[in-house]
Structure 1
Amino acid sequence: MTSRCRALLVLACLLPAAPLALAAGAAAQVHDYPTQGRVEYVLGCMDDNGHDFVNVYKCSCAIDRIAASLPYDDFVEQSTFSKYATLGGEGGAEFRVDRAKAQTKKFRALQADAYRACGIGRPGTVAK
């Protein structure tokens, strides 16, 4: 079994199926993200930051923080704009309009905050 498959199995067991509660017992504002979306984010995060086992937890922490402040549909839109913001040529024109730039900026700021809070290096850099 590859390390990627093992990580996927571990994530399926570790990711919460229900919203988290605050320490005081009040329900936290956590948006319902599908498990597949969370796993894809964690695997992408690990691709960017290293496939050390500790990054399973750090990247899971990051998607949990993002999910706490962003509905899933907004996450998909913003992360897509962010991913393709540097796509060149005519095909990338849709990702360079003002609305796309604003969504990219929002997502990258939210992701940077989540990375900082979870102990991950800058987005797009491999942690050693």
Structure 2
Amino acid sequence: MIRKLVERGALAALALAALAVPGMAAADLENDYPTEARVDYVFGCMAANGQTRESLQRCSCSLDALASILTYDIYVQASTILSMRQGVGQRANEFKSTKIFDDKVADLRRAQAEAEIRCFRG
């Protein structure tokens, strides 16, 4: 009898863990952007869209939407590639002519477009 109770308890614990993990994973993905990166993004966005309370709300929304689509690591990789492409010379050309870098930048651009639709046009 004790064995059955233990087995039921273990099964219940496994079921609860299985339900909790997907929710936690989604929350972790949306919150993996460090505060400094979030503030930097919002300040840059506000500089481009006006220094108003409305732009603060829209830019914050934009970052939240972006974070729900891309992990911070992917965001950093794509941002770095864009930064390196602004240079001149052999290294900049390598970043401009490599397919995998094009794909990472395209992912960032799609996420930014989705964030704009959600927060600036919706």
What's the TM-score once normalised by structure 1's chain length? 0.63
Q: What is the distance in 2 between the residues matched to 1:47 and 1:83?
A: 19
2:42/2:63 contact within 8 Å kept: yes
Match of 2:49, as an amino acid? Answer: N
Alignment match, 2:108: 107
Identity of aligned residues (%): 35
Equivalent residues, number: 95
Residues 8-47 of structure 1, C-alpha deviations (whole Å, 9 max, x = no match): xxxxxxxxxxxxxxxxxx6682322110010111111122
Quick check: which has more Rg, 1 or 2?
2
Match of 1:109, as an amino acid? Answer: R
Alignment match, 1:125: none
Q: What is the distance in 1 between the residues matched to 2:70 and 2:84?
A: 19
C-alpha deviation, 1:56, in angstroms: 0.9
Does residue 48 of structure 2 align to residue 48 of structure 1? yes
Does residue 60 of structure 2 align to residue 64 of structure 1? no
Moved over 6 A (4+): none
C-alpha deviation, 1:67, in angstroms: 1.0
For 2:26, what is the secondary structure of its paired residue? Answer: coil
C-alpha deviation, 1:95, in angstroms: 2.1
The 5 A counterparts of 1:8-19 are none
Q: Larger % of helix: which? A: 2
The 5 A counterparts of 1:1-128 are 29-30=26-27, 31=29, 32-96=32-96, 97-119=98-120
2:86/2:92 contact within 8 Å kept: yes
Residues 97-122 of structure 1, C-alpha deviations (whole Å, 9 max, x = no match): 211111111101110110111016xx
1:87/1:95 contact within 8 Å kept: no
C-alpha deviation, 1:88, in angstroms: 4.0
Instruction: Report the RMSD for the aligned CA atoms in angstroms.
Output: 2.2
